[in-house]
């Protein structure tokens, strides 16, 4: 771990905030994609059953 | 084979489905490698000390935030001119990624500014235009959600995107237009004399490449979601499920 001296809070908070926002946007995108994909599949199945 | 073939949703889904795993893995490897290189294996700056390490997250996020808007601009113009639905949906899909990058840019900028400038925020031309760009992203997302008819929403958001481009340009070039404010000139330049020293430059380029790959991967994923959502809506309307 490099010595960040007086700036430890600023540097670590920057990396923490970046990681958090990127993780949130990845998880949100993935969950949305899965939800829509499953909805489309179930609708297509219902249509095929008719 | 023409580029416009991928305006066909079926072809777009097929191609994006094949590309996504590779893009995602490449983005993850590039970002992690660049961050490790920059954070652990570069020295402190003689002026900025350890805060120079914030550069590796601030510059790539601001770069993607500004260029995401330009990508949305191109997609919006394609929608307005050629009426390809995939391009309108790609612009819509890019907005949440763009606003996330803008938030990162603003937060990391403030965290760098406090110890270096002695203030978290300054109404400097570059910072102010970047904040306005954030508000445009917010307005763009809200407008898509507020208008029920998708084609009308695409038309209105495309016009908003064209207007907001002024602030995307200002966010990038404000320091060239106004010789005032706290924000320094661009960290990267084609003119090698102007940009940061090589020891910071190379890991920065790697992280930036990773952020761009991540942006492309997420835009593809979100565009797929939008296409599938619209297809589900169309089937439901047709079959009255």
- For residue B6, being part of any structural domain is answered with no
Does B2 reside within a domain?
no
If we measure between CA atoms, which residue out of B133, B224, B214 comes closest to residue B173? B133
Number of domains in chain B: 1
Whether B10 maps to a domain, the answer reads: no
Torsion sign across C-alpha atoms B201, B203, B209, B210: negative
- Rg of chain A over Cα atoms, rounded to whole angstroms, equals 21
Looking at the domain assignment, is residue B12 inside a domain? Answer: no
- Label residue B191 by pLDDT band (50, 70, 90): low
In a domain, B3, yes or no: no
* Residue A27 contacts B, CB cutoff 8 Å: no
Least CB–CB distance from A7: residue in B35, B115, B222: B115
- pLDDT confidence bin for B192, thresholds 50/70/90: low
> What's the average model confidence in pLDDT over B181-204?
74
Give the residue from chain A lying closest to B39, CA to CA.
Answer: A2
Q: CA distances (Å), B154 to each of B91, B122, B165, B167, in order? A: 9, 35, 16, 20
Q: How does DSSP classify residue B149?
A: S
Cα nearest neighbour of A43 on chain B? B232
Are the beta carbons of B100 and A24 separated by less than 8 Å?
A: yes
Distance from C-alpha of A31 to C-alpha of A26, rounded to nearest angstrom: 9
Q: Is the predicted pLDDT of residue B194 greater than 70, yes or no?
A: no
pLDDT reported for residue B189: 63
Per the structure block, which two tokens stand in for B227? Answer: 């296409």
B190, pLDDT greater than 60: no
Write the residue in A14, A21, A33 that is nearest to B221 by C-beta: A33
Residue A37's pLDDT is 96
Which of B97, B108, B228 minimises the CB distance to A14?
A: B108
CB within 8 Å: B104 and A46: no
Residue B75 domain boundaries: 18-240
Categorize the per-residue pLDDT at B125 as very low, low, confident or very high, splitting at 50, 70 and 90: confident
- pLDDT digit string, tens, across residues B17-35: 999 999 999 999 999 999 9
Q: How confident is the model at residue B2 (pLDDT cuts 50, 70, 90)?
A: confident
pLDDT tens digits in sequence order for chain A, 50 residues long: 888 989 999 999 999 999 999 999 999 999 999 999 999 999 999 888 87
Nearest Cα residue in chain A from B108: A14
pLDDT, position B181: 67
pTM above the 0.90 mark? yes
Residue B227 lies in a domain: yes
Verify whether the Cβ–Cβ distance A46 to B39 is below 8 Å.
no
Residue B214 Ramachandran class (φ > 0 left, ψ -120 to 50 alpha, else beta):
alpha
Q: What percent of chain B has pLDDT over 70?
A: 91
Would the pLDDT of B89 be above 70? yes
Q: Which residues of A touch B214 (CB under 8 A)?
A: 22
- B13 is a domain residue: no
The answer to whether the Cβ–Cβ distance between A11 and B228 falls below 8 Å is no
The residue that leads in pLDDT, B196 or B233, is B233
| Closest residue to A36, CB basis, from B35, B58, B229 | B229
Query: Could you tell me if residue B33 is inside a domain?
Result: yes
The predicted complex's ipTM stands at 0.94
């Amino acid at each position: 771990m490099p010595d960040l001296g007086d700036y430890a809070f600023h540097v670590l908070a920057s990396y923490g905030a970046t990681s958090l926002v990127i993780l949130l946007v990845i998880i949100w995108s993935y969950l949305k994609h899965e939800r829509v994909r499953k909805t489309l599949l179930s609708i297509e199945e219902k249509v095929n059953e008719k | 084979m023409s580029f416009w073939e991928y305006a066909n949703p079926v072809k777009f889904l097929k191609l994006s489905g094949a590309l996504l795993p590779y893009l995602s893995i490449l983005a993850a490897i590039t970002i992690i490698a660049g961050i490790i290189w920059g954070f652990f294996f570069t020295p402190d700056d003689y002026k900025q000390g350890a805060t120079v390490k914030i550069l590796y997250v601030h510059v790539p996020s601001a770069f993607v935030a500004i260029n995401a808007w330009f990508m949305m601009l191109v997609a919006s113009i394609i929608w307005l001119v050629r009426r390809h639905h995939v391009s309108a949906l790609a612009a819509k899909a890019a907005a949440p990624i763009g606003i996330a990058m803008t938030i990162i840019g603003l937060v990391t900028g403030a965290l760098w500014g406090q110890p270096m400038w002695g203030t978290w925020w300054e109404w400097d031309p570059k910072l102010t235009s970047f904040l306005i760009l954030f508000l445009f992203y917010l307005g763009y997302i809200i407008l898509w959600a507020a208008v029920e008819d998708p084609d009308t929403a695409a038309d209105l958001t495309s016009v908003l995107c064209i207007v907001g481009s002024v602030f995307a340009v200002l966010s990038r070039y404000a320091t060239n237009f106004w010789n005032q404010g706290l924000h320094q000139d661009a960290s990267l330049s084609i003119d090698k004399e102007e940009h940061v020293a090589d020891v910071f430059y190379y890991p920065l380029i790697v992280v930036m490449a990773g952020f761009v790959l991540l942006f492309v991967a997420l835009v593809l994923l979100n565009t797929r979601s939008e296409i599938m959502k619209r297809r589900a809506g169309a089937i439901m309307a047709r079959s009255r499920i």
